Structure 1
């Protein structure tokens, strides 16, 4: 009995109990919804469970690493990610007109996923090094660290991932104290340059925007996803049709129902009540992450914790907005719910960093 208590102590001493409880609940919801979305495909559910288990192990390992060591990894991880992105540009595999994957012999990897953590980690490290003498030129330097990988990812092209990385980097800039006048000026400049940006967009990216305004203009093409997902959400009503009883899902009208549009499956089966409970669970996790951010003791920990938390919120907002038809379809998964191993590993790696910040306060400089 004593040995078990010791084992349990060493297993959980760097794990935040509230946060891990919320994560495990979301994973349970994800597996339950996935079982229905795949037509009771137990093999796919088991694969996802294995992905989750691997991600949990990675989260546990990161949570046990003191923050000084994570800080030392910021530059090498960023440099490795940039090398891999250049490798994708030169030697990457082309699928459906996009060059996003790199074959390294043993397996294929998507380096842009690594940059979702590497970019805010690097920017937080950069601001921590310049904390005492922080000037406007330091913000310019941090912006360059952000724009280089974003430009390479846009070239693939992968607009959704590029925007998410840009947003995560912006959160670091904002939390580091970037002037509101600069932010407002950049926003106005961006809006004024929209006609120019439109000319550089790919045809499929333009269709996503025009389809958002009127999905019926291409009901069997670009607008099909939005039309079917909104029908599924609306048909769920207040309490939903019940688990495995969603007609849009079970009759295969809903596309990408196990990945990007799994929220529509959940909405159809569990209705408004289920959506409210899911949102409350997400909000509880975000709230806990904000508490960890507020209690962070250094510039580095505050910036990386805040960026991870706000990026997690952005994933939720963009996916639900996309499925509900209020945002363009950009291929963003619903965190810890959608099928896919890479996104879950990336997300839990970030949560591992948050847990390390929470449980290693004495090991971080003050």
Structure 2
């Protein structure tokens, strides 16, 4: 059985749950004092989070890497859905409401891990040469960086958009891009 595999548990960080679970319990106690509705809603989110954690921990992600582009484009579709079906709160249209349950999700938060996985997937499929990525590869990466950046910036959510922009180009800087490209961009 997969849960009893010692190799799996040798990579598990046992300290993090010891630090996170008391925060979860305390936050639930504080919210339940103010609103039973919000407390029940928070329990549903905790449940989804636990299921997502177990899925990512137990699934052999290296065998499922072909799903990364599908997940990325699904998140892009969710960001486009915000434009047409989004719910406005506090003057910003950033959320999608899940029908019949009155829960909302913020696609820009789902896009963050999808974005990082997509950049890693692209780098793995075509690693940089000795001089780094050329102009053609840089433009391709820029497309994958700028599409979610523009959609999130339009919501408006400048903080999340900048996180994607800085993360994407920061990864490219660390992985290696031809220095003439960076010099040209700095000059512009």
| TM tier, smaller | 0.7 to 0.9
- CA 1:48–1:88 in structure 2 vs 1: closer, same or farther (change >3 Å)? closer
What does 1:1-366 align with in structure 2 at a 5 Å threshold? 9-10=4-5, 14-15=8-9, 19-32=13-26, 35-36=29-30, 38=31, 40-41=33-34, 43=36, 47-106=41-100, 107-131=103-127, 135-136=133-134, 137-178=136-177
- CA 1:90–1:48 in structure 2 vs 1: closer, same or farther (change >3 Å)? closer
* Contact 1:98-1:157 at 8 Å conserved across structures: yes
* Contact 2:94-2:155 at 8 Å conserved across structures: yes
* Contact 1:31-1:49 at 8 Å conserved across structures: no
* Contact 2:68-2:121 at 8 Å conserved across structures: yes
Q: Which has the larger radius of gyration?
A: 1
Work out the CA distance in 2 between the residues paired with 1:8 and 1:73: 23
Work out the CA distance in 2 between the residues paired with 1:125 and 1:119: 10
Structure 1 residue ranges without an equivalent (≥5): 1-5, 190-366
Task: Give SS of 1:69's match.
Answer: coil
How well do the aligned residues superpose, as a CA RMSD in angstroms? 3.3
* Contact 2:98-2:105 at 8 Å conserved across structures: yes
What is the number of residues matched between the two proteins?
A: 182
Displacement of 1:79 in angstroms is: 1.2
Displacement of 1:8 in angstroms is: 5.5
Runs of 4+ in 1 over 6 A off after TM superposition: none
Displacement of 1:182 in angstroms is: 5.4
Work out the CA distance in 2 between the residues paired with 1:146 and 1:41: 40
Task: Give SS of 2:62's match.
Answer: helix
* Contact 2:133-2:177 at 8 Å conserved across structures: no
